[in-house]
Amino acid sequence: MEPPLTRPDLDSQGLRGFLRMVEARFPGELLRIAAPVRPQLDITSAVFELEKAGRDPVLVFEQVEGHAMPVVTNTTGNRRLLAACLDVAVGDLPTAFRERCQRYVPCETVDAAPWQEVTLDGDAVDLTTLPIPIHFSVDAAPYITAGQLVARDPVTGVDTTGFHRLMLKGKNRLGVSLHSRRRMWEFHRRAEERGEPLPVSITLGVHPLHYMGSMVYAYPPAVRKFEIVGGLFGEPYRLARCVNGLEVPAGAEIVVEGEILPGQHEPEGPFGEFTGYASYRSTQNVFVAHRLHMRRDAMFHSVASGMAKDHILVSCITREGEILNTLRRNLPNVIAVHVPHTTCGAFMAFVKMRKTAEGEPQQAIMAALGTEFYTKYVIVVDEDVDIFDMKDVMWAVATRVRAERDIVLVPGCKGAILDPTSDPQTFTLTKMGIDATRPVGQDFAERLTISDAQRARVRGILQSAGVMV
């Protein structure tokens, strides 16, 4: 047997390059589990147990019962590692993302990729051989959660890539939900109008920067998502061509070629979604696999589902960057934006600003709600509030808000299909903004503070007493 095809320049943009970086720079953040685990529940449950203990390491499960392939998960559950991917400080992550995802870098197509080492066609395709986890007991079946779907617009020919949950239905059949109602959903709708299937390739085993770039939604129609990913890498993103003509990341581990069928719908779900609830809502589309490619030593990449940071932290950062980008256009006094993962990575946004005039918080609220339709609550605070500390934000709400003046309600807005509070037929809801800033030009209560110098002094006193803080 020939040795696996290794191309360091290709692997650097894939899952392997990321794992090497973590192992070299943050060895304590890579945890290899040698003990056997079940694909049912064990893998995602381990991620949640570590989160409860205050840890977010990348996990490699080396022995998955019934499978020879290891499973890698929790690659995007740690802000420090995501910041390292962009080589910036953690606090600069949203701003760096905002700037770099607007630097569109043309892609490079290579002749050969490691995922082309093994190819199975037709009846030989058997997706049940992959170590696809069941994440929660409510899940209807094993779910591929790290599958990046790639497809082309049947009208313009411009491709896109993004995550969509994939329910295992058989050897070559997956249920897929296009509930985000964005480009992939529109591409399928256009193909379906012609009575045609939508050719799709599913990529498994991508770098976190691909994950981040795929979550960008506001960009010109002629731009490829892969060009955004290239901007994050600061170099051309290297792609390889599938048999079906679609281009996918050359550094991937596994690629599945197939199509989403027109006019066919089958039950899909329930699935443990980012809301923290079992989701029964789905577009119920059907994907049929025609071809399976993989490396000889392929690793299976899985994203922990539910409210795991691995599932929602990247969406927090990308939404922070997108909202910040919108606000800064007209409100340069906006300092920062935070989308907490504890509010499902989407539903609530905190905006910090240096308010110079009344009405600015309301302007920020409307702009933020108009930028990201998943976001339904926006809280604006002054520059003295730490938006990464939920306690500090709630303190500002409790002490600076007069409800009759500072709360804005916007009824009939488009919401997320998976939001259990949205109307089940129209998926609309009422959104809310809260101005938790002090009034301009008026005396207001003085906040109690402790200086950095005094904090340092007292830490020294405590440490001399054997108290570690």
- Convert the pLDDT of each residue in 426-458 to its tens digit: 989 999 999 999 999 889 999 988 999 999 999
Is position 392 within any domain? yes
- Do 98 and 245 have their domain in common? yes
pLDDT at 167 over 80: yes
Q: Domain containing 346: what range?
A: 331-436
**pLDDT at residue 143, rounded to an integer:** 97
- Do 338 and 387 have their domain in common? yes
pLDDT at 44 over 50: yes
What's 405's domain CATH number? 3.40.1670.10
The mean pLDDT of the chain is: 93
- Do 431 and 294 have their domain in common? no
Identify which of 234, 252, 249, 239 has the alpha carbon closest to the alpha carbon of residue 104. 234
- Do 338 and 426 have their domain in common? yes
Is position 1 within any domain? no
- Do 286 and 212 have their domain in common? yes
Express each pLDDT in 71-88 by its tens digit: 999 999 999 999 999 999
Q: Omega before 208 cis (within 30°)?
A: no
pTM of the model: 0.87
The set of long-range contacts for 442-450, using a CB threshold of 8 Å and a minimum separation of 24, is: 445/399, 447/384
Rounded distance between C-alpha atoms, residue 64 and residue 41, angstroms: 12
- 379: number of Cβ within 10 Å: 26
- Place 254 in a pLDDT band, splitting at 50, 70 and 90: very high
Express each pLDDT in 255-273 by its tens digit: 999 999 999 999 999 999 9
Is position 469 within any domain? no
Is the CB of residue 440 less than 8 Å from the CB of residue 358?
A: yes
**pLDDT at residue 3, rounded to an integer:** 43
Is position 386 within any domain? yes
Express each pLDDT in 343-387 by its tens digit: 988 899 999 999 999 999 999 999 999 998 889 999 999 999 999
- Do 366 and 290 have their domain in common? no
Is position 448 within any domain? no
Instruction: Give residues with Cβ within 8 angstroms of 290, minimum separation 6.
Output: 121, 122, 125, 172, 244, 257, 258, 259
Phi and psi at 410, nearest 5°, equal: -125, 100
Query: Among all chains, which residue has been given the structure tokens 């894939």?
Result: 14
When divided into structural domains, the chain yields a total of: 2
Strands 143-144 and 285-294: unpaired
- Do 204 and 240 have their domain in common? yes
Rounded distance between C-alpha atoms, residue 437 and residue 428, angstroms: 28
Is position 468 within any domain? no
- Place 7 in a pLDDT band, splitting at 50, 70 and 90: low
Rounded distance between C-alpha atoms, residue 135 and residue 305, angstroms: 7
- Place 107 in a pLDDT band, splitting at 50, 70 and 90: very high
**pLDDT at residue 4, rounded to an integer:** 45
- Do 136 and 248 have their domain in common? yes
How far from each other are the two terminal CA atoms of the chain, in whole angstroms? 56
Express each pLDDT in 142-159 by its tens digit: 999 999 999 999 999 999
Is position 445 within any domain? no
What's 288's domain CATH number? 2.30.110.10
**pLDDT at residue 94, rounded to an integer:** 87
- Do 279 and 360 have their domain in common? no
- Do 287 and 351 have their domain in common? no
- Do 289 and 365 have their domain in common? no
**pLDDT at residue 55, rounded to an integer:** 93
User: What is the percent of the chain where pLDDT is above 70?
Assistant: 98
Express each pLDDT in 395-429 by its tens digit: 999 999 999 999 999 999 988 888 888 998 898 99
Is position 176 within any domain? yes
- Do 286 and 371 have their domain in common? no
pLDDT at 1 over 50: no
Question: Which H/E stretch holds residue 325?
Answer: helix 309-330
